[in-house]
């Protein structure tokens, strides 16, 4: 579970820490991925029939499985549902990213906050997706198409490897992105957007693309968490979830993927195990406030070791080579 949620944090880290674009609405993309995949894999298509449904079933896109009451459901297979859900989140990110990313600073933060609130109110008030109850009886996500899993213990072990497989792939992709020409362009946008534009960097295009990539990471996490838990509720799209992700990025170091991953695994684990109790949301709110006040670059910022080493050398009276 901690690894799944870390995918959202990694996507937000590349957007906020490297490109300098603040988002307080990433729980909305998480919910879009999770809810759409849950809807596709629980909605019974048997009653619809017709050549389209028959053709999809013949292609392996649809699958039959038992429901909670002993009946049989004809639903979309989790793998195609995952792909469709992620593409839907990407399409939404592309549609809203164009106008929203023209804003800067707190105006951008408020706009993304508004998007998150809209998604939350839609899922909370729409009967098709279960309203306040959410969607349940979501099938498990198989490791590979066609591989059946029996037993809850086997499913949990499989999800452990699925989770870490996605985290490793995500880290490899983002680390290569940061070290590429695109990463240098993002760093220049973060440092001085007007200067980057004057140097010929298409800042609007780069910001939109990285916003879409970040949304895709959140949507993938939403799909995987939903299928692991067997359901999803409106709380996953709440504003406090977005604040939580941003707080983890802040404490891990705004431009430090490894720091964001490390702090995400620790804080999400403690939260999921219930160590924060009823003060769970308050803890992440306090973390965000303290980081913004006293260490706005994060506790695990990339320059931390160099700064500690310099302080030790100065205290010892030596020269820093």
Q: Does 35 fall in a domain?
A: yes
pLDDT of residue 155: 67
Q: What is the mean pLDDT of the chain?
A: 85
How many domains would you assign to the chain? Answer: 1
pLDDT at 234 over 80: yes
pLDDT of residue 71: 75
Residue 175 pLDDT grade (very low, low, confident, very high; cuts 50, 70, 90): very high
Q: Does 321 fall in a domain?
A: no
Q: Which one has a higher pLDDT value, 76 or 221?
A: 221
pLDDT of residue 305: 52
Q: Rounding to the nearest 10 degrees, give the CA dihedral for residues 268, 270, 272, 276.
A: -120
Q: What is the pLDDT of residues 20-38, one digit of tens each?
A: 898 999 999 999 999 999 9
Distance CA 264, CA 160 (A): 16
**70-79, 84-93, 186-195, 245-254: range with highest mean pLDDT:** 84-93
pLDDT of residue 285: 87
pLDDT of residue 45: 81
58-92 residues labelled b (16+ CB within 10 A) or e (exposed): eeebbbeeeeeeeeebbbbbbbbbbebbbebbbeb
pLDDT of residue 306: 57
Q: Does 223 fall in a domain?
A: yes
**Count of residues in the chain:** 321
Contact 10, 170 (CB under 8 A): yes
Q: Which domain holds residue 68?
A: 2-316
Q: What is the pLDDT of residues 257-305, one digit of tens each?
A: 998 999 999 999 999 998 998 888 898 888 888 887 876 666 766 555 5
Contact 245, 288 (CB under 8 A): no
Q: Does 87 fall in a domain?
A: yes
Distance CA 278, CA 197 (A): 47
């Amino acid at each position: 579970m901690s690894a799944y949620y870390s995918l959202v944090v990694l996507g937000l880290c590349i957007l906020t820490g490297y490109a300098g674009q603040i988002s307080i609405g990433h729980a909305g993309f998480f919910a879009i991925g999770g809810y759409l995949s849950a809807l596709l894999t629980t909605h019974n298509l048997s009653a619809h029939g017709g050549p389209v449904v028959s053709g999809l079933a013949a292609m392996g896109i649809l699958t039959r499985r038992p429901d909670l009451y002993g009946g049989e459901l004809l639903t979309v297979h989790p793998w195609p549902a995952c792909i469709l859900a992620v593409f839907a989140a990407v399409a939404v990110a592309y549609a809203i990213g164009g106008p929203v990313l023209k804003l800067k600073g707190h105006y951008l933060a408020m706009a993304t906050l508004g998007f998150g609130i809209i998604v939350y109110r839609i899922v909370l008030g729409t009967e098709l997706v279960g309203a306040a109850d959410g969607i349940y009886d979501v099938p498990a996500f198989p490791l590979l198409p066609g591989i059946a899993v029996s037993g809850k213990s086997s499913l949990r072990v499989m999800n452990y490897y699925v989770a870490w497989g996605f985290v490793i792939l995500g880290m490899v992709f983002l680390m290569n992105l940061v070290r590429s020409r695109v990463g240098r362009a993002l760093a220049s946008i973060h440092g001085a957007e007007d200067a980057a534009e004057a140097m010929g960097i298409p800042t609007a295009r780069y910001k939109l693309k990285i916003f879409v990539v970040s949304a895709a990471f959140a949507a993938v996490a939403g799909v995987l968490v939903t299928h692991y838990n067997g359901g999803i509720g409106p709380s996953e799209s709440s504003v406090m979830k977005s604040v939580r992700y941003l707080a983890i990025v802040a404490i891990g170091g705004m431009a430090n993927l490894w720091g964001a991953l490390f702090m995400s695994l620790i804080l999400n684990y403690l939260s999921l195990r219930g160590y924060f109790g009823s003060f769970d949301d308050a803890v992440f709110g306090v973390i965000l406030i303290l980081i913004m006040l006293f260490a706005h670059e994060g506790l695990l910022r990339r320059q931390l070791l160099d700064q500690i080493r310099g302080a030790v050398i100065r205290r010892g009276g030596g020269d820093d080579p």
